[in-house]
Amino acid sequence: MQLSDFAVRKAVVIIEEILHEGGPVALPPPVRGAIFAVCANPFAGRFQPDLQPAMEGLKPLALQLTDRLVAALGGRDGIDAYGKGAIVGEGGESEHGALWHVAGGYGMRERLGEARAIVPSVMKVGGMGSTLDIPLGHLNAAYVRSRFDVITVSCSDAPRSGEVLFALAMARGGRVHSRMGGLEIDQVAGHDGLR
């Protein structure tokens, strides 16, 4: 399968700057961003026994979305958390969202460089206006608690029947008033994706 089988109807970028949550104003503020593409789902309405070849066809989309999100966040410097997700519309199944596991992770790792930690991921089947809470985690060390976060995406007119919404998320900095301990940024060794 090729990217043309997942024809893109629209793309949306979301950027959040979090100045405070009742505590002192953070300067510079942590920034979270997400981008998603609403695509045709070539598997909607039928059961396809072998879906894995389609993952390769989605890699160009993942690279395009990664480039756009990195640009919207002001460049690569400081981006230290990431995540991905998908919402599958009517006629599809959750496994169609799982197509994004390899492609979405590949796109961000290719463009962000060293990224050893697993890319947090979520997918579900839902209709137009469904929300998706995309989990975030540190690029190189899963135990950095300050980077355990989420960004919520939603699109009022998607996914329609026969569509799938593929999303990527990144952040520069952790939760604005993080104080739950755990591994701190200056303690990250980054050898095994955990610590």
- For residue range 125-150, list pLDDT tens digits in order: 999 999 999 999 999 988 888 889 99
Classify residue 135: in a domain, yes or no: yes
Q: What is the pTM of this model?
A: 0.95
- When pLDDT is cut at 50, 70 and 90, the band that residue 3 belongs to is confident
Classify residue 193: in a domain, yes or no: no
Residue 67, H or E segment: helix 59-72
180 is written with which tokens?
């739950």
Evaluate the omega torsion of the peptide bond into residue 60 and state whether it is cis, within 30 degrees of 0.
no
Classify residue 192: in a domain, yes or no: no
Classify residue 75: in a domain, yes or no: yes
Q: Tens digits of per-residue pLDDT, 164-189?
A: 999 999 999 999 998 888 877 777 77
- When pLDDT is cut at 50, 70 and 90, the band that residue 51 belongs to is very high
Classify residue 194: in a domain, yes or no: no
Residue 28: CATH number of its domain: 3.30.1330.110
pLDDT at position 181, please?
Answer: 84
Using CA atoms in the order 32, 162, 158, 97, what is the torsion angle rounded to 10 degrees?
Answer: -20
> What's the number of domains the chain is made of?
1
